[in-house]
Structure 1
């Protein structure tokens, strides 16, 4: 692939990402994408085999960031520190990839064929790592007995993901600015590790 090919391919992915995120797969035409990218409509078929292939390329790029969670699992840290690293990585991920949550919600509520091949495996990979981390903590008596690792993993993931998901509806209630991220991370870890009871 020449540099020009790579540039055109990357331009199409860059242009298509916000369009697919805002309008969904069915709400965007190849003509619209080509127009915004200032390329001939045939380039979408040439590089991606059509709109479905372009959408898959967009999702692969968006969900690739979840594969980095596996790096946390390889670190020599205690399980609670790994959970904190996951929370930090999730906050950073949403700051760097503002469209990711839209793809999450769109695919979870109105799945395309890409759900089974791209989205579901990416999400399951993260949940499995969190499960394993919690199970490790249980085996070392770091966490309270009787808690299910899967439910615990989903609770932690749900807490941080939901915080960013409802941001548009809670802007008047809480400061969602990046300057507050450290405070947010500490609050999530405090709630997760200590609960809310006095």
Structure 2
């Protein structure tokens, strides 16, 4: 197996293990066993378990860079929020372990939190703040709302929806076929609230 293939294979196979058991719950031997390689390969490619975990987190949180690309679009701030919502729903569909890494790192941060997770999350929140500030300056949004609180409320609404999926499967259809309806509901709640 080529070096790049072995390295990528280790990341791929370690991802569900770390997502399910957390950083401390997975041993180097377990990862090596699943990958069918010698334990020393993890040190060779990553410098140890923490390096492999960092590589997994880098791959998982790299998908958030797409939010910064939305900021570069020449479109209405509300449309940028919609692109963010669409992108977030798609991210969770394509990266089923991402939310586990979010919650794991937020509740039991590893050394990777400060260097990988926190900057990625802050980047998203800052970008959403910019969308809202831009909308305020063009009188698109209601005055008096704090851009940071607004950004966190929107991000929280979407993230919490997916976080609760295991507990709410009997209450709501979480299938991808319903994504357009979900996006429409999130945007409606975000823009119009719930008051009549």
TM-score by length of 1: 0.98
Consecutive unaligned residues of structure 1, counting only runs of 5 or more, are none
Partner residue, 1:54: 52
Match of 1:116 among 114, 117, 139: 114
Partner residue, 1:82: 80
C-alpha offsets along residues 169-196 of structure 1, whole Å, 9 cap, x if unaligned? 0000000000000000000000000110
Alignment of 1:30-179 (within 5 A): 30-179=28-177
- How far did residue 67 of structure 1 move? 0.8
CA distance in 1, matches of 2:185, 2:99: 21
SS at match of 2:109: coil
- How far did residue 47 of structure 1 move? 0.2
- Displaced runs of 4 or more, over 6 A: none
C-alpha offsets along residues 5-26 of structure 1, whole Å, 9 cap, x if unaligned? 0000000000000000000000
CA distance in 2, matches of 1:183, 1:153: 21
- How far did residue 68 of structure 1 move? 1.0
RMSD: 0.6
Partner residue, 2:7: 9
- Matched residue count: 196
- How far did residue 57 of structure 1 move? 0.1
Consecutive unaligned residues of structure 2, counting only runs of 5 or more, are none
